[in-house]
A and B are shown apart, each in its own frame.
Chain A
Amino acid sequence: MLKGHFPLFLVLVIVLLALLLPLLLPWDYEQIDWDAVRAPAFSGSHIFGTDEIGRDRLARLAAGTRITLMVAIAAALVSLIVGIAWGATAGWIGGRVDEAMMRIVDGLYALPFMFIVILLMVVFGRSILLVFVGIGLVEWLTMARVVRGQVMALKQRPFILAAEAAGTPSTAIMLRHILPNIAGVALAYLMLTVPQVVMVESFLSFLGLGVQEPLTSLGILVKEGADDMDMTPLGLALPGGLLVMILVCLTIEGERLRDRYS
């Protein structure tokens, strides 16, 4: 099944490693090895060495990937749910309601999102939940537009008219005819939203607004690595490379799915 889907395979391997490594490694991501501060790679039990306060790099990399992907998937799901609900309602009702709802989306598009997410963080304090919600609320707009377009096209299809003539109530038409038929497209855009959210989350964490220490994410690791770049380039190269790899792989797979469904 994974034949020809090397990028997806790579992402799955990364996810699996991120989940399993904590069980296999002798070191915890927040545990400090006082005997090996700034240890180089392959020294003792530290495969990639330790950072400037003696924490195992590989363990931190696994923990950071876990958090980043968790935030990304959760936020993408929030955007999926809000986007489908909004877009499907607008497309199904149509007319003036549709006009009004889509103008709201246009308005939100025009707002500087990063600024609003930063404001949310500042006002409500930093919490991982807020990162989920904030990013998810930002990312649903594209989903809403795509879903609305699909619903409007489906609404005119004869099988929907036949269902109406068969007495199927509107809610059942929505749930049983329309939603299953837009699932493919929604899935494709979900795949494309995940890397976008990874970007936003890493950026927030890089600025120090995302996840809080001692929890870590790829963004924080990149920032730490960048601060210490001249001493140990490995500290930047590892999380940076991983981040790029995840982004590229997910985008390739997402675009493939999108091309298939639209």
Chain B
Amino acid sequence: MSLYEIHNMAVTIAGNRLVEDVSLIVEAGQCTAIIGASGSGKSLTCLSPFGLTPAEVAGSMILDGLDLAGADAAQISDVRRRLTGFIFQQPLTALTPHLTVGAQLQEATTQAGAARPSRRELVRQLERVGLSRADERLDQFPHRLSGGERQRVMIAAAIAHDPKLLVADEPTSALDASLRAEIMTLLDQLRAEQGLGLLLVSHDLASVEGHADQLVVMERGRVVESGCASKLIASPGEDYTARLIAATPRLQEPAPALSRPGEPLLETRDLGVAFDRPGWRRGKIKALADASIMVRQCESLAIVGGSGSGKSTLGRAIAGIGPVTAGEILWQGTPLPERRQRSLDMRRLIQPVFQDPVASLDPQWQVQDIVTEPLCNLRSDLTGAERNEMARQSLSAVDLPEEFLARIPASLSGGQAQRVAIARAIIAAPQLLVLDEATSELDPLVGAEILKLLARLQGENGLSLLFITHDIAAARRLCHRIAVMEEGRIVETGEMQDVIDHPRHPVTQKLIAVS
């Protein structure tokens, strides 16, 4: 008998049936992954049986011989205490900020009724999840730890009471690619050592591939397909699964056909950005140092690096929306001035697109006003009617129907909002787009479409693209060349395929190994 079995489960919130007819199995020591786009009901599926959502659950959910469907609140609470551990997406918000790591681990251990653990026991728990200098960490507060370290502490707390089932809701989505691989490897290791069953939820097929034994693909609250992970990926039975697999960028896939680059367009020479320390403290924080890159006409350059590597700072400096403290930016050989000194003509040439599509649109404005905003300033020679005509053209260039002009951002999905943001960026006919993680917050299917759209726009309009990302496989689908960054410096540049085949710098080698 399996550790955890769900049969024909349905989840209802306030009369709306959000998940229907879901069945899955988690074996001890194995990993079952639920994959699906946002809103497909995957989190509800894994959290609702344990009373962690306001939903009503029907069906049968048998954990270790106990049917959770018939259990009352006290029994479910007891199951949560003894049998299960939970890991959530946001490692900072999931840890209590005012308690030290040691205090939180102690709470996690004793809540199942165990005796108060000794300090040595707590150290052992932290070492089990691969944290170095564990003794010192016990006295630290969560904000002193990096994102990856916090996630390790979360895992240590989740397994402190030796549960049989670990439920992980997007455990690696907030982490960059190399941390992602480390955390997944840690979870594999814990499964093998402790015989833990793992129920994993992710929107990203790439991050569970090679780790999950069973795969459950969900769409709109229903299971599309489920089965052995490696078989499913090799030969998907359903169209949706096939599209999901095709949308997930892989380094092994054939090289894409890209446009032919022209003359050099933009160049930076020893660009540096330093920020004042906050408050009245002295000294500077160097976010970027000696960054020299070059982008040709009709070319895409990928800037790849982990979080905090300075890649966004570089992008913002080039787009004229962030400070520059050293070096210069050349546009076809002539220097571009700093942020506020740029003339409107110069601004027209470079436009940014941001990571969070919803936050990049003013929530109070209509799509029409959002898209035409650059025209009002950069092309003041146009009449209102001409502007509206251009807004229509711009929307059709990003494959959105005309009706969207009257919509407000709150009524757009992530992918639609990102299309509107791109429509705004291209409306004034720029020559360079700075794309700051423009696809990383989107579901894989939507992200893949945005990548296609960008490649098409490049072919049609001869746009140059600066594609800032942590995902080297996604960058490969679009970019001719790559610059790898770490700690504010560019450590390696070259042709995309060359760098992937023969990475020289250890940072690049690591990035490629985990992709």
Measuring CB to CB, which residues of chain A are less than 8 angstroms from any residue of chain B?
99, 157-159, 161-169, 177, 180-181
Query: Which residues does chain B contribute within 8 Å of A99, judged by CB atoms?
Result: 280
> Are B319 and A158 in contact, CB atoms less than 8 angstroms apart?
no
A residues in contact with B377, CB < 8 Å: 166-169
A154 to chain B, nearest CB (A): 10
A159 touches B321 (CB 8 A): no
Residues of A within 8 A of B280 (CB): 99
**Which B residues, 300 to 347, have Cβ-Cβ distances below 8 Å to chain A?**
316, 319-321, 344, 347
**Known pairs A167-B348, A168-B373, A181-B363; A161 contacts B378 (CB<8 A):** no
Contact with A along B173-198 (1 / 0, CB 8 A): 00000000000000000000000000
> In the assembly, what is the distance between CA of A181 and CA of B348, in Å?
26
Q: Mark B354-368, 1 if CB is under 8 A from A, else 0.
A: 111001111110000
**B148 interface contact, C-beta 8 A:** no
Give the distance in Å from the alpha carbon of A164 to the alpha carbon of B373 in the complex.
10
List, sorted by A's number, 25 A–B pairs whose CB atoms are closer than 8 Å.
A99-B280, A158-B355, A159-B360, A159-B362, A161-B316, A161-B352, A161-B354, A162-B354, A162-B373, A163-B373, A165-B321, A165-B347, A165-B350, A165-B352, A166-B347, A166-B351, A166-B374, A166-B378, A166-B428, A167-B374, A167-B377, A167-B378, A168-B376, A169-B377, A180-B362
CB distance from A140 to the nearest CB of B (A): 24
Question: Which of chain B's residues have a CB closer than 8 A to the CB of A161?
Answer: 316, 321, 352, 354
Complex Cα distance, B362 from A161, in Å, reads: 11
Pairs A-B, 9 closest by C-beta atoms: A167-B377, A158-B360, A166-B374, A158-B354, A167-B347, A161-B321, A180-B364, A167-B344, A159-B362
Can you name 4 extra interface pairs (CB under 8 A) apart from A161-B352, A163-B362? Answer: A158-B359, A167-B377, A180-B362, A181-B364
- Distance, CA A159 to CA B348, complexed state (A): 16
Contact yes or no, A162 B424, CB < 8 A: yes
Which residue on chain A has the smallest CB distance to residue B316? A161
Partner of B362, one of A164, A169, A177: A177
Measured CB to CB, the closest approach of chain B to A192, in angstroms, equals 23
Chain B residues in the interface with A (C-beta under 8 A): 280, 316, 319-321, 344, 347-348, 350-352, 354-356, 359-364, 373-374, 376-378, 421, 424-425, 428
Q: Which residue of A lies closest to B343 (CB)?
A: A167
Q: Using Cβ atoms and an 8 Å threshold, which residues of chain B touch A169?
A: 377
| Chain B residues whose CB sits within 8 angstroms of the CB of A163 once the complex forms | 362, 373
Query: What A residues does B351 contact at CB under 8 A?
Result: 165-166
Rounded to whole angstroms, the CA-CA distance of A175 and B191 in the bound complex is 56
Q: Nearest residue in A to B370 (C-beta to C-beta)?
A: A159
Looking across the interface, which residue of chain A has its beta carbon closest to that of B357?
A158
* Complex alpha-carbon distance, A169 and B377, angstroms: 8
Question: Could you say which residues of chain A place their CB within 8 Å of the CB of B376?
Answer: 168
Report the nearest B residue to A161, measured CB to CB: B321
Tell me which residues across on chain A come within 8 A of B363, comparing CB atoms.
Answer: 181
| Minimum distance in angstroms from B361 CB to a CB of chain A | 6
A162 B421 Cβ-Cβ under 8 A: yes
* CA distance in complex: A75, B2 (Å): 69
B362 touches A166 (CB 8 A): no
Q: Considering the chains assembled together, what is the distance between the CA atoms of A163 and B356 in angstroms?
A: 15
In the complex, A141 Cα to B424 Cα: how many Å?
38
Nearest to B347 among chain A residues (CB) is A167
* Whole-angstrom CA separation of A165 from B353 in the bound complex: 10
Q: Does the CB pair B378–A159 fall under 8 Å?
A: no
Check if B359 sits within 8 Å of A157, measured CB to CB: yes
Distance of A8 Cα from B87 Cα, bound (Å):
44
CA distance A169 to B33 in the complex (A): 49
Report the separation of the CA atoms of residues A15 and B201 in the bound assembly, to the nearest whole angstrom: 56
Chain A residue nearest to B276 (CB atoms) is A95
Residues of B within 8 A of A158 (CB): 354-356, 359-360
Closest to B374 in A: A166
B360: chain A residues within 8 A (beta carbon): 157-159, 162
Chain B positions within 8 Å of A164 at CB level: 320-321
A8 to chain B, nearest CB (A): 24
B375 CB to closest chain A CB, in angstroms? Answer: 9
Q: CA A165 – CA B428 in complex, angstroms? A: 11
Look across to chain A and name the residue whose beta carbon is closest to the beta carbon of B430: A165
Flag if A166 contacts B359 (CB, 8 Å): no
A176 to nearest B CB, angstroms? 8
Report the bound CA distance from A162 to B377 in whole Å: 13
How near does chain B come to A102, taking the closest CB pair, in angstroms?
A: 12
B-chain residues with CB within 8 Å of residue A167 when the two chains form the complex:
344, 347-348, 374, 377-378
Query: With A and B bound together, what is the CA distance between A162 and B352 in angstroms?
Result: 7
Chain A residues lying within 8 Å of B361, measured Cβ to Cβ, are 159
User: Nearest Cβ in chain B — how far from A174, in angstroms?
Assistant: 13
